[in-house]
Amino acid sequence: MTEELAFRGFEYAPAPESRSIVRLEDAYGLFVGGRWREPAETYTTISPASEEPLAQVGQAGPEDVGAAVAAAREAFAGQWSALRPAERAKYLYRIARLLQERAREFAVLESLNGGKPIKESRDVDLPLAAAHFFYYAGWADKLEYAFPNRRPRPIGVAGQIIPWNFPLLMLAWKIAPALAAGNTVVLKPAETTPLTALLFCDVLRQAELPRGVVNIVTGDGRTGAALVSHPDVDKIAFTGSTEVGKAIQRELAGTGKGLTLELGGKAANIVFDDAPLDQAVEGIVNGIFFNQGHVCCAGSRLLVQESIQQPLIDKLKRRLGTLRVGDPLDKNTDVGAINSAAQLQRIEELVAAGEQEGAEIYQPPCRLPEQGYWFAPTVFTNVAQSHRIAQEEIFGPVLSALTFRTPEEAVEKANNTAYGLSAGVWTEKGSRILWTAQRLRAGVVWANTFNRFDPTSPFGGYKESGFGREGGLHGLEPYLRFDGDATEWGG
């Protein structure tokens, strides 16, 4: 037995969050036109931490998607687009406040269905989701000021497809700006994490949002595909894999529909030799182990200056040994469950490729639960740029560490990727931060921090990480058309 395992003196006692605040239905329908619609087919959604079945959920087919789009069109033409902007804002404020009031319930359900630690869903996902509704509520009646001399108008019905890593937060990123701009929406949650989107329908009821303004259709990729190909959808907003994003872009080419894509990433977290090492270690850990690494902007490639490689990696390994992996509902858990069996398989395949290609693997001693989907925090050293683990998005708690000697080499290696979503820079010198940030091809560059989000700040990528921005003023633009623009969409 290793020393770490033998010494249990300061072990945390279990601190499970109670599940009793969540009332699960046995089965959920599709939320169409403000009513529950019976789906023709259903599937079982589970807890990835225990594989326990949680509920039956609808698998929406083309007819269901058609009904949702029709409801959204009717709500758009009938009242929502013509509503006084200050009235629209009222609904958004109500939704934001209700999310705050019911935050604990949503946080528990998010961790239950998705596997992320409760301290993250409680302290990050929920506050940020509410903040997005507050922020965009503020813009709803100020669009003329936001885009002076451009006469902004809503585009119509938005089809929105979101992934499983931040189910409620991605819903907020998509729905809040669309509604603030006067559009109506049909949203498809990810197959493995539909429950918080379905609970959100109850918030819409409480907020008395007019029927049909928001429609939620659950199901797998086929439901997403039906939404993309529906002729009466004016704009698609997609967050997910680059592969599916490319397929959607090909399908929409020439149709005149609007499109924004927020896809994968392989972000570099660059640590220069003058960086405060302990802080950098915390930033590296937050960058890759937050949400089990299921984060499109995760700092999955560590670029460390050669002269400090050894002390930094030693500190990082020690820190990894203190991460608590396990029950997502335990308030002390740092790393929760992998979201699905399929995702676990993908992580295992890429980690095996890393070992085969000659990188050196390190995993701290940690006991993984027997039931459910789990992967230990992992660091690879001796990684070459050509290795798959340095090129492909692993989307799991796996860090690939590479070294550099000069700032120029750091920038060149950081940009040596098909992606361009985010990056991190750790150094004491402000001038070096600016020099590096100007040369990085990434939508977001964090300096001496990582994974910081704010509704006022635009987020999005370059290259294969997609196009269009979410958040901030930029996030409103894809949901508006402007008088005089060449393309006239919808309504």
Distance (Å, whole) CA 72 – CA 344: 36
**Cα–Cα separations (whole angstroms), residue 52 to 46, 112, 373:** 5, 10, 12
The residue within the footprint of ligand NDP, chosen from 56, 79, 206, 241 (CB under 6 A), is 241
Using CB positions, name the residue nearest to ligand NDP.
224
For residue 266, state whether it binds ligand NDP (rule: CB under 6 A).
no
Give the amino acid at 93: Y
**208 in active site:** no
Sheet with 157-161: list strands edge to edge. 35-37, 30-32, 214-216, 184-188, 157-161, 235-239, 258-262, 466-467
The residue within the footprint of ligand NDP, chosen from 92, 214, 216, 244 (CB under 6 A), is 244
Hey, which residues between 338 and 367 contact ligand NDP (CB under 6 A)?
A: 343, 346
Stretch that binds ligand NDP, among 42-50, 183-191, 197-205, 207-215 (CB under 6 A): 183-191
Which of 17, 201, 296, 470 is catalytic? The answer is 296
For residue 239, state whether it binds ligand NDP (rule: CB under 6 A).
yes
**282 in active site:** no
The residue within the footprint of ligand NDP, chosen from 125, 191, 334, 464 (CB under 6 A), is 191
The residue within the footprint of ligand NDP, chosen from 34, 212, 240, 420 (CB under 6 A), is 240
For residue 221, state whether it binds ligand NDP (rule: CB under 6 A).
yes
Give the amino acid at 48: P
Hey, which residues between 86 and 145 contact ligand NDP (CB under 6 A)?
A: none
Stretch that binds ligand NDP, among 151-159, 207-215, 233-241, 406-414 (CB under 6 A): 233-241
The residue within the footprint of ligand NDP, chosen from 25, 105, 141, 220 (CB under 6 A), is 220
Stretch that binds ligand NDP, among 89-97, 242-250, 402-410, 480-488 (CB under 6 A): 242-250
235-239 and 258-262 strand pairing: parallel
Q: Interhelix angle for 277-289 vs 309-320, to 10°? A: 50
For residue 66, state whether it binds ligand NDP (rule: CB under 6 A).
no
The site for ligand NDP, by CB under 6 A, has a size of 26
Distance (Å, whole) CA 258 – CA 220: 23
Interface map 4-43 toward ligand NDP (x if CB under 6 A): ----------------------------------------
Stretch that binds ligand NDP, among 10-18, 98-106, 125-133, 234-242 (CB under 6 A): 234-242
CB of 246 to ligand NDP, least distance (A): 10
Sign of the CA dihedral with 12 first, then 17, 18, and 23 last: negative
The residue within the footprint of ligand NDP, chosen from 89, 172, 228, 237 (CB under 6 A), is 228
Closest C-alpha to 209, from 199, 220, 201, 217: 201
Q: Which two tokens stand for residue 253?
A: 């080419």
Hey, which residues between 390 and 409 contact ligand NDP (CB under 6 A)?
A: 393, 395
The residue within the footprint of ligand NDP, chosen from 57, 60, 158, 161 (CB under 6 A), is 161
The residue within the footprint of ligand NDP, chosen from 103, 180, 259, 296 (CB under 6 A), is 296
Distance (Å, whole) CA 194 – CA 86: 31
Buried b (16+ CB within 10 A) or exposed e, 383-394: beeebbbbbbbb
CB of 310 to ligand NDP, least distance (A): 31
Which of 110, 191, 262, 477 is catalytic? The answer is 262
Q: How many CA atoms lie within 13 A of 96 on its CB side?
A: 23
The residue within the footprint of ligand NDP, chosen from 190, 267, 344, 414 (CB under 6 A), is 190
Report, as residue numbers or ranges, the catalytic residues.
262, 296
- Residue ranges binding ligand NDP (CB under 6 A): 161-165, 188, 190-191, 220-221, 224-225, 228, 239-241, 244, 247-248, 263-264, 296, 343, 346, 393, 395
